[in-house]
Amino acid sequence: MNVLGIETSCDETSVAVITDGKLKANLISSQDFHTDYGGVVPELSSRAHLQIIMPLIKKALDKTGFKLEDMDVIAATAGPGLIGALLVGLNFGKGLAYSLGKTFIPVNHIEGHIFSGFLMEEKPDFPYLCLVVSGGHTLLLLVQSDFEIIKLGTTVDDAAGEAFDKVSKMLGLGYPGGPLIQKNAEIYNGELIDFPVSRCKNKYDFSFSGLKTAVLRFLEKEYGGVGKAPEKDIPMLAASFQKAAVRALVEKTELALGEFNPKSLSLVGGVAANKFLRNKLAETAKRHNKKFVVPALEFCGDNAAMIAYRGMKLYEGGYSFNFDFNAYPGLKENPFFKEYSSAE
């Protein structure tokens, strides 16, 4: 079975081909021009997707030796994401499937990330604990099967990746913030500022707005405002913020490992590329004697390989969709997600 995956939820255009469960191609075109604006500009993102999507599909097919007619299933991201960007890939995928008489499978972007660990040679074992950390989402999930996911916690305000981006701007480092924060933190080896970690009513929920505000107040008090910290102090500030953000993620994850005793731990999403977070969670998994699975860097950010894989699993599971399908509902309405009923 051949599956063509399409991903255009934000600022990466990606196309992938999976054949009989094996990844044959995963091409990603990143829109680097957004750095000039300090963030993703939705209208420009949509236009860039329109320009590159067909050439990228042709390139993926050339790489694999397939033709469009050889595809059995066409899967495309159907949310969440930027509406204009999503519409490009979703409608393009629908059009291809309709014109070719092929099966069309819309894929939830978050589900794509959740199962991205299965693109690796060493895969998670069910049930596994999954920490999803990206620019738009922070979720702690107990994944019991391909079609049963228990949402233990989420962010009550900012996502972790968003906090990295905003603090990076405060420090004058630019966008995207994650790699820049990490780069500066890696060159500092001294004492750190003890920024606070928020506590939430639900013990598995996250909050990063307080941490972001704590950094802002420190900059105002010590340096007179945002962008005024001397260059020599930037690595210390970056390392202090990174340590607090990662501590918040690791503490909740370790708590869930102790309560639910899953077989594996998986870290996914764009922020999963952060070396400090990967190392801390690897140490946590080792302490609890759990297999730790984190995708390769090309599968951490938005990519079509995870969309093709999830589309394949939905198809194999007997799920079917018509061409009227436009967007996935929120997690509360998604049939594969259940709420954790014993939250404190």
Q: Sort 20 into a burial class: Cβ within 10 Å, 0-12 / 13-18 / 19+.
A: exposed
pLDDT value at 75 more than 90: yes
pLDDT value at 195 more than 50: yes
Annotated ligand binding at 146? The verdict is no
pLDDT computed for residue 342 by the predictor: 62
Annotated ligand binding at 134? The verdict is yes
Annotated ligand binding at 88? The verdict is no
pLDDT computed for residue 344 by the predictor: 44
Domains of the chain: 2-114+299-330 (3.30.420.40), 122-294 (3.30.420.40)
What is the maximum span of the chain, computed from C-alpha positions, in angstroms? Answer: 64
Q: In the chain, which residue ranges form alpha helices assigned H by DSSP?
A: 42-64, 83-100, 109-114, 160-170, 177-186, 209-223, 234-260, 275-287, 297-300, 304-316
pLDDT single digits (tens) 285-344:
999 999 999 999 999 999 999 999 999 999 999 999 999 888 887 777 889 999 997 644
pLDDT single digits (tens) 30-44:
888 778 778 888 889
Annotated ligand binding at 133? The verdict is yes
Angle subtended at Cα 16 by Cα 13 and Cα 20, rounded to the nearest 5 degrees: 165
Work out the average pLDDT over 259-263. 98
Annotated ligand binding at 274? The verdict is yes
Annotated ligand binding at 132? The verdict is yes
Annotated ligand binding at 302? The verdict is yes
pLDDT single digits (tens) 92-132:
999 999 999 999 999 999 999 999 999 999 999 999 999 99
- Side chain identity at residue 229, one-letter code: A
Q: Model pTM greater than 0.85? A: yes
Tokens of 313: 């699993």
